[in-house]
Chains A and B, each alone.
Chain A
Amino acid sequence: MNALKEGLRRAGKEPFAIGVLLVFHFAWSVPLYRYIEGHVIEVMSRYPPPELGKEWANLFVYDFLLMMQDKSFALPIAGMLLAYALIRLVMVPALDAGVFNSLSDERMPRGTAFIRGVRRLSVSFVWLYLLRLALMAVPLYWAVPAMVRGWFSAGDPWQLAAGVAPWLLLLLVWSAMLKLLFTYVLFALTEDDRLLASLAFFFRRIVPVAGIALAVFAVSFVVGSALFSASLYWAGFPSVVLYLLYPLIRIWLRVWGIAAQHRYWQAHRA
């Protein structure tokens, strides 16, 4: 509880880091939003109106799905999404380096601490990020064939859920645990501390560490769902405003999560 409170207080002192993350988020997501909007308009303006009959709509969907399998249509979209993914792949860990350094070093001005962190640690953070992604993908070797088998052998939705859901849950838990584990690795890297000691700390204190993460996740989930639902309900300009406000809250919640873990680590490491 202390760690959560301290983390909350600490997150409030990081306007520079939160600001930079927010700018990156908009620079990355607004063009993505515009790109998606262009395709949505294209599809909506072609979708057969109800006066033409249900068969028109069925045929449209069928033809559209076939079109998506056409390389000349699918490749540019896949390429664009890949470009977005690659930008995230580099920028997220690089900016995280700034966040972690800023949380570790309270003496420097916030902006200086952030930029120094990016300069000093971003390359290591990117490599560790790639390692985390690779480890996240390992269970897919078993999970994907099992889920495909479950999908095709399911006779009803319950069987489908029984066949697929456990694997999805496993993948979620696995990726969440890896993220937490690597958070503690990054703490050690940021403060030039012993990596093994940090790892040992993580495994010894896995329960409170997971508890902190779950608490932050629960708050994020409630807030996120409420904002998302509101943006769908109040479609139009209010929806756009909510859609833009949500990232600020989400980023702030994320910084709080890291800060809370950092406080816990600092308070209880030997």
Chain B
Amino acid sequence: MPGPIRSKLTFILPLLLAFLLLSVFVFPAGPLFGEAAPAGKDKTDAKTPDAAEERAKPKPAPLSRHVAEYHIGVSYDAKKHLLTGEQTVTWRHPGKKPVQELYFHLYPNAFRSPETTFMKESGGQLRGVKMKPGSFGSMTVSSVKSMNGEDLSHRLSFVQPDDGNREDRTLAKLRLPQPVMPGETVTLRMQFTVSLPRVFARMGVAGDFLMAGQWYPKVAAYETRGTRGREEEGWSLHQYHGNSEFYGNFGIYNVTINVPDDHLVAATGFQAKPVTRSGGRKTYHFYADDVHDFAWAASPHFVYAEEPHADRFVPGVKIKLYLDPSHAHLKDRYFRAAKLSLSRYGEWFGPYPYSTLSIVVPPADAEGAGGMEYPTLIAAWAAESEQPGLELEQVIAHEIAHQYWYGIVASNEAEEAWLDEAFASWSEFRLMQTEYGKAGHLKYEAVSLKDPAPLKLASWKFTDHEQYAANVYTRGKLVLLAIEREIGTANMRKVLKTYYERWKFKHPGTADFQRVLEDVTKRSWQSFFDQFVHGKEMLDYEVAEIRSREVEKNGRELCEYTVKLVRHGGYLKPVPVMFRFADGTVAEKVWEDDGKEKVIKVTTDSRLLWVAVDPDQNLLLENRLVNNVLLAEIDDAWKVRWTVLIGKLVETLLGWAI
């Protein structure tokens, strides 16, 4: 090599080497090295619903016992309102005895004819929303195969353990060729189609909007011995009833959803991969674990918004809002309500354990889909009014409360509906009171409860939907508030926190909640639960009679009043009784015992005007107030006026009509 060239190389090579070292270790690597984007992240703006999502924190271990694992691929035909799905479900036997069969809920079959149990019990309507004539729905399981390809379809049959209604096909039994031993798994491959009804009862379509709840063949819940007081392990088997909601074991859902390209999809869990597009359609991939159900919604009209939320009580959650366009201007209200609910419930019960919470706002004509809870996804009220009142915030508070009471503390909604509805109602009431200053009308609610029924009653055993709703929502909430009034708010929060901690990701029953209450308060609540939870008691105190006679005492002429009090309803605690006299004085007595009648004598030199039981209206469970007060004397002039007025009205009416 010539001398001048060697000297140049000697100078240049170290420079090149230095440059190389610097560009690798100091300057950012660029396209030169062709480094790929981090796995799972879309190169487009991450704040779109098409982007994949990551968990807020990696979970070291499952939070629940995974009994069922679903891998589902579903395609939505928006023109025919059809879902075509394929699922591989692995069921791990949680019990100790071999099982020879699996059971599946085929909920959409509730809408297949007017003769199904749901339709007969509900009269074809839910919460005032009627089924459109002819708009039926169904689920067909076209194939069931074992993992080795054996066709098991012929082993599937419908069962009706609740009412024997052969027209009802919401529960199916699959006889397995071999039993599943404790701890072992069975995996099945199933193909199914769902013909979607026009939504009136939670699931279905309305125009372009789809709410897919209870849309896949769902393995029934298997309860181990001791769960909710069970003496023997076994399946929890119920058809879909007019009043009942749902129940399932925890597990994993890995779901791909294929929809037309212009549709946005909201779903349980988080988006595991970016959306892929092909042939005018797009596919979402969602993943959720430690949940017992999976729901999704789709619409080409959703207005999407998301906001993160984290504070002292919320580790970190992405709130995803899928708004109907007519409520786009209300997104701040939805976000605020969601954040307040997550923070307060996090403070009162425990941190929200999932990384996402999706809120779907259905369009006005999909009111049947509104006001419903699914794990990590809730449906608010349908967007019927452009300026809704506080019911907007109330439904958000209620359905997010269900994430705790139903979603995480996974009670049996069919058999013990009050354990989720009353608890969610209590939570909603407290949230609205604390954050929105909404006082509520508790005494009016109590007085309205003229048809009380036991709280711990299977949903379909209530006489009708009105009795079901009045009891599991309102009466249950009042029972919890009555407990709170007895033990104080601080202790009530301790009870609920303990209940949540002890029973999260498990399946408690009423007795389990009672045990927590007794452990925390260190007293027995058996009498309370016997009367107001297992029984249908309310409180009803009456001032039945006031009698007077003149007596002489120490040379003075006094009046002795004998007041008879009667207890018609249950017993909670001693009740105050107020006596008011003509000289303006007031005497307060207490009816201490739990007897059915009480006689109180008062001797006074002043006329007794009236007697009132529970004058401060502290008895939240009293549902009859017309008999709490008795006047010892009434104004004669007004007596005549009212009698003449009413008498004249009746005479005139009868005289004119007849």
Contacts and interface: CB of A to CB of B under 8 A. Distances in A.
A239 to B, nearest CB: 5
A175 interface: yes
Interface string B442-453: 011001101000
The dominant DSSP class at the B interface is helix
Given A45-B634, A85-B654, A37 B444 contact: no
B129 interface: no
B636 A46 contact: no
A64 B444 CA distance: 12
A141 B102 CA distance: 58
A66 B448 contact: yes
A41 B631 CA distance: 10
Nearest to A59: B625
Contact of B450 (A46, A66, A88): A66
B654 A228 contact: no
Interface stretch (B198-206, B232-240, B358-366, B610-618): B610-618
Given A49-B609, A52-B615, A60-B625, A29 B638 contact: no
B644 interface: yes
A59 B638 contact: no
Contacts of A92: 658
B643 interface: yes
A203 interface: no
A57 to B, nearest CB: 10
Contacts, number: 107
B634 A44 contact: yes
B246 to A, nearest CB: 33
Contact of B640 (A60, A66, A70, A240): A240
B643 A37 contact: yes
B interface, how many residues as a size bin? 35 or more
B439 to A, nearest CB: 11
A89 interface: yes
A44 B656 CA distance: 28
Given A45-B634, A48-B612, A62 B641 contact: no
Interface string A174-189: 0100000000000000
A88 B641 CA distance: 25
Given A52-B615, A59-B447, A63-B447, A44 B647 contact: no
Contacts of A85: 654, 657-658
A47 B641 CA distance: 16
B630 interface: yes
Interface string B424-464: 00000000000000000001100110100000000000000
Contacts of B629: 46-49, 52, 56, 60
Contacts of B169: none
B651 A29 contact: yes
Interface string B617-658: 100000011110111001111111111111110110011111
B580 interface: yes
Contacts of B657: 85, 133, 136
A243 B648 CA distance: 9
Contacts of B643: 33, 36-37, 40
Please list the 5 inter-chain residue pairs (A to B) with the smallest Cβ-Cβ separation, ordered nearest first. A235-B637, A37-B643, A235-B640, A44-B634, A45-B631
30 contacts: A29-B647, A32-B650, A40-B643, A40-B646, A41-B639, A44-B631, A44-B634, A44-B638, A44-B642, A46-B626, A46-B630, A48-B612, A49-B609, A51-B580, A56-B617, A56-B629, A59-B617, A60-B625, A60-B629, A62-B444, A66-B448, A85-B657, A88-B654, A89-B658, A136-B657, A228-B648, A235-B637, A235-B640, A235-B644, A239-B640
Interface of B: 443-444, 447-448, 450, 580, 609-610, 612, 615, 617, 624-627, 629-631, 634-648, 650-651, 654-658
Given A60-B626, A235-B637, 5 more contacts: A41-B639, A46-B627, A235-B644, A239-B641, A240-B640
